[in-house]
Chain A
Amino acid sequence: MLLKLVLASLWSRRVMAILTCTSIAISILVLIGVEHLRAEVKNNFERTVSGVDLIVGSRTSGINLLLFSVFKIGNPSNNIQWKSYHDIVNKNQVAWAVPLSMGDSHQGFSVMGTTADYFEYFKYADKQKITFVQGESFKRLYEVVLGSDVALKLGYSINQSLVMSHGTGKVSFTHHDDHPFKVVGILKPTGTPADQSLYIPLQSISILHQTQHIHDELLSEVPLGTTYQPQLSAFLLGSKSKIGVLQLQRDINQFKQEPLSAILPALALRELWKIVGAVEISLRIISWLILATALICMTTMLLASMKERERELAVLRALGAKAHIIILLIGAEALMLTLLGSFAGYLLVTLGLLLGQPLLEQHFALYISPYVNLVTVGRFFLIAASAAVLLSFIPAVLAYKKSLLRGLKQ
């Protein structure tokens, strides 16, 4: 009966109630949306590189090195001499090394020169290996492996021929027309920037930039002192032991022949996330403020409706409704509006994510799960509901006092 009374009363003020519900829904939408995006972006971020002990590049900041080698953002400040690479790789703590050479692009996607070892050693998420959906790694000079996004967006399939262009822009005036590449493998989606690259043999990068004729035979190793010595942008290292990593890092940082930087990817990722973190915090603050605003709006609405409901509450009091019933009525109304609004907000977020996910993936390479974390949602619901109930005490107590004072008076 009490619930019926609340519902009937709310229904009689439905326009205001719907508006209030909407404002709460929107604020919950923002709150859940921001929190979900933040968690997903962070997750995406942390998945990008794993299983790599060190990333080595020409002397630069750790973040810059991480950005261009893993995220394919920006450029290396300098190249690494092939000899330096060779010397470091031959140190006995080194278990494996994967050279990387960037600087070319294809239709706006970066082209990475590397060795077949890349697919063996570069890992993502929880030490997951990159696997092939179709085909296999390159074995010859003019062969290319595509990241899943590249294949999907450009509609390429196995055995197709592509032309690389110099520079990293989408529009390039130097096309390496005389060296068409054949697609030999397509990678499984990883949800990391690895999906957005084309992979070609390291040697092919060098010959792209040279006019000399080289027969299409991929050597397993580039011997020193041959006519072409690839210039590297960076390389990935695996250490034989965990303890050896720091020693190796120090050795590389103090490398005599050339100024180099070696970074621990996990540490650099954390450093980078800290920068993003400031945005994260402000987003969070903003979303909480939005919720606070919505709840205060609801309180205002309740207060405003008290004027309108004075008579109604006075009637209830006069008929013998105890004080707690009046407080319960108003509290229940606040709770109902908040829960209804919150639920609507949650549905909107899920709907929005389901609709927007393909777009985010396409345009920002963000893998956002459309299913928000229900524990987080539950926490927000709880916080919003308790805040609503607490805030409803203001109008409730005022109404109770008023209905007592005014009583039968009109």
Chain B
Amino acid sequence: MPHSLSIQDLVFTWSKKSDFTLRIPSWQVGSAEKVFLYGRSGEGKSTLLNLISGIENRYTGSIQVLGQDMAKLSQRHKDAFRANNIGIIFQQFNLLPYLSAQQNILLAQRFRSVKPASQSQELASICERLELSSHLLKQKALELSVGQQQRVAVARALYGAPSLIIADEPTSALDTQSREQFIQLLLDCAQSSTVIFVSHDMSLASHFDKQLGLAELQQQVSDTDVA
């Protein structure tokens, strides 16, 4: 089974002034795997996700996403690759407040070169799974409740069936019950996609196939260094 993500000898230095360095000697995520990545604040979780999604470029080593070596893509192609293949769920969902729920869901579609055969059908099926009513779709994101925003954010990440879904602390603003709900919803809907879920909240780890800490990933460095 090909890897959805394969990282080799990744070294990233935030800036010359700061001594913060992210090193990942080796990390593979299999296709359709659901991975929970644990990390404390400031450990570089977001940076790692930026690297994977091709937003951050200053690194050495190799990052392969869905078999594609990210370093070989120009910024333009990276943007297109991200639009086509990666679904992202942000902290606080990051819906554009002035767009309607539906416009938010279709937003990523705008930047994609590969469009689903039938947009309305795809939208309908996702909305049905996420219980998003047509009335709700017309509402501004700003007017939605947190729970509704969650579902719209998931719909946006799932729309167009991306092979890789990255979630960056999407539950930090939610209470415990909503968190559980949210993760269940995400995993139910994204069965065919690889999911990398980043959080500092260990209590969520049990929902995932695989759990690992960012510290662990980096630990190998010290291990190999020592060895």
Contact = CB atoms under 8 A, between A and B. Distances in A.
Interface in B52-95: 53, 55-56, 75-76, 79-84, 86, 88, 90-92, 94-95
Q: B interface, how many residues as a size bin?
A: 20 to 34
A320 B98 contact: no
A276 interface: no
A315 B75 contact: no
Given A407-B56, A408-B168, A318 B98 contact: no
B44 to A, nearest CB: 11
B79 A409 contact: no
B88 A322 contact: no
Interface string B84-126: 1010101110111111000100011011100000000000000
Contact of A409 (B50, B81, B86): B50
Given A8-B98, A12-B98, A320-B108, A410 B79 contact: no
B49 interface: yes
A305 B98 CA distance: 15
B83 A319 contact: yes
A11 B98 contact: yes
Interface string A319-333: 111110100000000
- Which of B56, B81, B95: most chain A Cβ within 10 A? B56
B98 A9 contact: yes
A399 to B, nearest CB: 14
B155 to A, nearest CB: 13
B31 interface: no
A243 interface: no
Nearest to A325: B111
B108 A319 contact: yes
Given A321-B79, A322-B79, A1 B46 contact: no
A177 interface: no
Interface string A1-43: 1101100110110000000000000000000000000000000
Contacts of A129: none
A271 interface: no
Nearest to A4: B103
Interface string A146-160: 000000000000000
B88 A408 contact: yes
B8 to A, nearest CB: 22
B225 to A, nearest CB: 28
Given A12-B98, A407-B46, A410-B91, A318 B53 contact: yes
16 contacts: A4-B103, A12-B97, A311-B94, A315-B95, A315-B96, A317-B55, A318-B53, A319-B83, A320-B81, A320-B82, A320-B83, A321-B110, A407-B55, A408-B88, A408-B90, A409-B50
Interface of A: 1-2, 4-5, 8-9, 11-12, 311-312, 314-323, 325, 404-405, 407-410
